[in-house]
Amino acid sequence: MAERRVSTTVSQRPGGPGGPGPMGPGRGPWAQFGREPERAKNTRSTLLRLWGYLRHQKWSLIATVFLVIIASGVGLLGPFLMGKAIDTYILKNDLPGLGRLALLMIAVYVTGAVVNWLQTYVMAGAAQRTVRDIRNDLFAKLQTLSLRFFDQRTHGELMSRLTNDVENISNVLNESVTQLISSAFSLTGVAAMMFIINVRLALVSMVTLPLMVFLSQTIAKHTRKGFRDQQEHLGNLNGIIEETITGQRVVKAYGREPTVIAQFEATNTQLRDASTRAQILAGVMGPMSNFINNVGFAIVAGAGGWMAVNGLATVGTIASFISYARQFTFPLNQIANLYNSIQSAIAGAERVFETLDEVPELVDAPDALPLEDIRGDVVFDDVSFGYQAAEPVLKHVSLHAAAGQTIALVGPTGAGKTTIVNLLTRFYDIDNGAIRIDGMDIRALKLADLRRKLGIVLQDTYLFADTVMENIRYGRLDATDEEVIAAAKLANADQFIHRLPQGYQTELSERAGNISQGQRQLLAIARAILADPGILILDEATSSVDTRTEKHIQEAMLRLMEGRTSFVIAHRLSTIREADAILVIHHGEVIERGTHEELLAQQGFYQHLYVSQFKGQQLAPALAA
């Protein structure tokens, strides 16, 4: 095998196989929660973006506005008919006429109730379709983002954006939009009727309006940030919950229940404080607006009574006007009471749009080439890479794997083995140099095609909460049941699957906790066999199983590797004796290369690793005896 210079320096990627955790090196899982919450963004811009989604439901919105106009018009008839009843029928003791008018008023109010229900029904459909589009776009956006994005955020925080933040938007669209439109039309209509009935009283009723507008603007400046802080802390709390539940075995094994409870309580207290501040600010709006409205209503009632006593207006006119004045304040109260949910929804929408604005780190080039059948010839040409710009990980790495060869990567933990395969799969882009498959730079290939040609079996196998059959079929979704079973047989998994309660239809728990580590590895191999990749990556696939299970896995791996270019990261050196080439990586450099026999003959680092492992294997039975 021709000499190839390979130099590596690695600190495993945050959150990746062999990495220190999702928050990166040197940070606890919740260390980021001490950061200062972000300031609220531009409300106008956020509302315009929400409108960009809502306007796709234009026919429903048009229907809603039409129904709101009808409901507002019907609502305006009530006080008018009441005044007419007083002046025309009650003061003249015309009971038959009063009866007829009463029936008309009942019909008006029934019509108003039906129209209000219809507008709520139509708007609810439009709101849910809008929220569906936002949620779909947000989830789809997450699928385009690179692993680096997920390395820097907890899963719970991202889940909070998909659930809590979007749900806040949903609540406002369902309830508040119709109320706001209705309030706007009601205010306009009521104001018009008030001026038509009595201009002087109408002007008197407007005295308190500037104070109401000033109060709303003042409080709005503070509530928006308060609700954004609340959403931030809620996302942090969800992160703790998700990580603690996922890591329950570790928590219990190390007796850290008091620690995680204290961490949860601290973050929960932050959420309580932020929520309290937000709710207090928002809660001021309702009582203050009610107070101002009641003062205005008292002024109108007093002025109207004075005019009636002095013969400047009829009793029916004053009664109608007072009823309209009450209707005029009702929309203002509605808007004030909606501030809580509106500000919370704006804060949630800002967080959602922040994620939607994230720029994917890895994208197809405009002229990206499709990748059809491949031979599997892989070249690393002077590759340099660092997870962080100031900390290079791989420096000037060069290697060559001919089609069909098996290349083993060995060395201490953290030496850079996983980083090499992370770059091959283009989970991250290299900083300098080139990686080529069959002579084509992988950056010039379509990502989907590239990854479709790669099969990966990791040390920490991820299986979904679904049946065994569907977990294997994940490798190729159009595979038949017969093809899935055939893949399982090649992977030595068929026998243990038949011993499961429902065989291939057995439901796996989350992360497949109801089967063993070795069984999970066999299912992962079956999935890779079904995918039929051109290049295979096996990352410590047998490091966590017993010798007997390892034998079954090794047999399945050999079948899987047959005829394919394979990169094997191995902890147990006995599993890679037949590799075409072994690269020994230490302190970021390939310090040795060759076959198993050649490396033993060199009596270098590999020979030291092998002898140390061999002695450990010999010593274990003696200690057991």
Per-residue model confidence (pLDDT) at position 218: 72
Same domain, 302 and 247: yes
- With cut-offs at 50, 70 and 90, classify the pLDDT of residue 15: very low
Residue 623 has pLDDT above 60, yes or no: no
R_g over Cα of the chain? 35
What is the crossing angle of helices 177-197 and 58-84, to 10°?
30
Residue 65, in any domain of the structure: yes
**Which of 312-316, 435-439, 562-566: highest mean pLDDT?**
435-439
Domain end: 356, 391, 422, which one? 356
Residue 537, in any domain of the structure: no
Same domain, 335 and 434: no
By the 8 A CB rule, do 379 and 436 touch?
Answer: yes
Residue 553, in any domain of the structure: no
Please state, for a pLDDT cut of 70, what percent of the chain lies above it: 83
Higher pLDDT, residue 482 or 213: 482
* Separation between Cα atoms, residue 541 and residue 409, nearest integer Å: 13
Mean pLDDT, to the nearest integer, of 218-229? Answer: 70
Residue 624 has pLDDT above 60, yes or no: no
Q: What is the pLDDT of residues 65-113, one digit of tens each?
A: 888 888 877 877 777 777 777 767 676 777 777 787 788 888 888 888 8
Same domain, 241 and 377: no
Residue 334 has pLDDT above 80, yes or no: no
CA distances from 465 to 163, 183, 283, 392, 515 (A): 20, 47, 43, 38, 12
Q: What is the pLDDT of residues 536-575, one digit of tens each?
A: 888 766 555 566 666 777 777 777 788 888 888 877 676 6
Domain count, the chain: 3
- With cut-offs at 50, 70 and 90, classify the pLDDT of residue 220: low
Same domain, 298 and 347: yes
Residue 118, in any domain of the structure: yes
Which has the closest alpha carbon to 485: 467, 476, 499, 473?
473
Residue 256 has pLDDT above 80, yes or no: no
The rounded mean pLDDT for the chain is 77
Per-residue model confidence (pLDDT) at position 287: 76
Residue 35, in any domain of the structure: no
Per-residue model confidence (pLDDT) at position 482: 92
Which has the closest alpha carbon to 247: 232, 257, 233?
257
- With cut-offs at 50, 70 and 90, classify the pLDDT of residue 250: low
Residue 39 has pLDDT above 50, yes or no: no
Same domain, 292 and 437: no
Edge-to-edge strand list for the sheet holding 432-437: 394-401, 378-385, 432-437, 440-441
> In CATH, what number is assigned to the domain containing residue 168?
1.20.1560.10
By the 8 A CB rule, do 588 and 10 touch?
Answer: yes
Task: List the single range of 448-462, 506-520, 539-553 with lowest mean pLDDT.
Answer: 539-553
Same domain, 172 and 242: yes
By the 8 A CB rule, do 530 and 475 touch?
Answer: yes
Residue 16 has pLDDT above 60, yes or no: no
Domain end: 356, 383, 408, which one? 356
Per-residue model confidence (pLDDT) at position 541: 60
Residue 401, in any domain of the structure: yes
Per-residue model confidence (pLDDT) at position 505: 92
The DSSP annotation for 346-389 comes to: HHHHHHHHHHHTPPPSS---TTPBP--S----EEEEEEEE-SBT
- The set of residues, in sequence order, having a beta carbon less than 8 Å from that of 606 and lying 6+ positions away, is 410, 573, 582, 584, 592, 599, 600
Same domain, 342 and 193: yes
For the beta carbon of residue 477, count every other beta carbon within 10 angstroms. 8
Domain end: 356, 379, 403, which one? 356
Residue 28, in any domain of the structure: no
The DSSP annotation for 497-552 comes to: HHTSTTGGGPBP-GGGTTS-HHHHHHHHHHHHHHH--SEEEEESTTTTS-HHHHHH
By the 8 A CB rule, do 455 and 541 touch?
Answer: no
Which residue shows structure tokens 């093809």?
Answer: 483
- The secondary element (H helix, E strand) that includes residue 441 is strand 440-441
Residue 35 has pLDDT above 60, yes or no: no
* Separation between Cα atoms, residue 128 and residue 587, nearest integer Å: 55
**Which of 67-81, 251-265, 341-355: highest mean pLDDT?**
341-355
Which has the closest alpha carbon to 264: 227, 239, 291?
239
Same domain, 228 and 154: yes
Domain span at residue 623 reads 368-453+565-625
Same domain, 438 and 462: no
Same domain, 470 and 446: no
> In CATH, what number is assigned to the domain containing residue 465?
3.40.50.300
Same domain, 596 and 615: yes
- With cut-offs at 50, 70 and 90, classify the pLDDT of residue 448: confident
Which residue shows structure tokens 């033993």?
Answer: 600
Residue 522, in any domain of the structure: yes
Same domain, 280 and 406: no
Which has the closest alpha carbon to 29: 221, 178, 236?
236
